[in-house]
Structure 1
Amino acid sequence: MTFCARTSAILYEYRPRNRNTYITVTKEGEVCVRSPIRDEQRIRELLCRKEEWIREHLARIHERTRDVHRPGETIRFRGENVPLGHFPALEKKLKKCQSLIDIEKYYHRFYRDEALLTLPSRIEHYARKMGLRPSSVRFKKMRRRWGSCDARGIVTFNTLMMQLSYEHIDYIIVHELAHLRHMNHSGEFHALVACFLPEEKRLRRELREIHPY
C-alpha cells in the first residue's frame, strides 16, 4: 500500500517495490522522497546526507524565482534580465505593441540580429581551435533545442541562444561542432567537448534546466 505524508516542504512517498531511495527537488521547491524505507529516522538521516545537494537546488530555484523575466519591461540577454532602457530602439518598438505576440516578435528579431552579429566569430574561433569545419552554419529560432548537427555537416544554432551567458553559448557551439566527429553522445564525444571546455559537465547540467522562450 502506498501513502504520502507532507512535512513542511518535504513530500515523502512510500514505494515498497523500489530498490533504492530517490530524492528530487521540484521547480516549486518541494523536496520529494520516494523510498522503500518506512522508518522516519532513516529517511531523516538520508536527507541530512543529501543536505548540501538539496540546498544547492533550492538556491537555484530561489534565484530563478527572484530574477523573473517581465515581457515588455526586461529582456533576457547574455544570461541576465536587462531593463529595456538599455536598448532604446527595441524599447521604442515595444511601446507600440498591443499584444504579447507582437512583443515576442520584436524580441525574436532582436535575438536574431544579435546572433548574426555575435555568433559567427565565436563559431569560427572554436572551429579553428578544434580543427572541425561544418559544411554550413545556419541560424534560426527553435523552441525545443539550442542547436543541431546533421549527417551532412550542417550545424544549426538557435538565435535564442542570445538569452544565455557567453559561457553557455560557448558550450553549445563546442557541443555542436563536436558532433562533426561524433554523431552521438558517447564518452568519446563528451571527452572531446571537455578538451576545450573543462567545465563541460557543469555546463551541460545547467543547460538541462534552461529552455528557450
Structure 2
Amino acid sequence: MSLLLENINKIVTLTPEEEQLILTQVEVKYYKAKSMLLKAEEVSRNTYFVQRGVVRSFTINDQIIEHVLHFACEGWWIGDMYSYIAEKPGNLFIEVLEDAEIVCVSKETHQLLYQKIPKLERFFRILAENSLVAHQERLIDNLSLTAEERFEKFCSKYPTLIQRVPQKQIASFIGVTPEFFSKMKAKLLKKIIS
C-alpha cells in the first residue's frame, strides 16, 4: 500500500502514526478483469484507489451505447462521486479492465480519517479541485477539438493506457464510434509513415 501513501504524501506530509492509521482503516481488495466494482442504480459506498491494474467508469445511454468517462491505473482514484456524496443511486458503472488491487475507502472511513487526520481534508479537496479542472478541460476539448486532436491529446496525456485499454473504449472516451476510430487511426498512421 506504499503507492497509496506516496499519493497522499505528494500533497500532505503524513507522520508514521498517521500512515499506520490509514492502513488500518482502508480495505484492500483484489479483482479479476471484467469484475464490476459498481453498477448504475446502485449507491456507491466507496471511492477507489488503484494500486495495480486498470479500471474504467462508464455510462450506458438509451441506445445501449457505452460512454467512457474515466480510466484509472496505478496511482489514480476513481468513483461515482455523485452517488458517493449524495448517497443516492448513481449512473455509473465501474469495471475492472485488468486484474487489479484496489484500495476501497468508505464514506465512514473518510469521515473518521478527516477527524483523526484533519490534513486529509486538504488532500481530498485538492484531488477534487484537480478533478474539476480535468473535467472542465475535457469538456472544452470535446466541444472545440477534432477527433484526431482529442486522440493525440489522449495519447500524450495517457501514454501508458494506449496498450492497456481496448481501442473501442478509447474511441468511446474521445467521443467517436469504433468504426470511425479505426479509420482515423489508419489515416494517422499513413500520415506518420509518409
TM-score bracket, normalised by the shorter chain, equals under 0.3
Rg larger in structure = 1
Normalised by the length of structure 1, the TM-score is: 0.25
Higher relative contact order (CA 8 A, sep 6+): 2
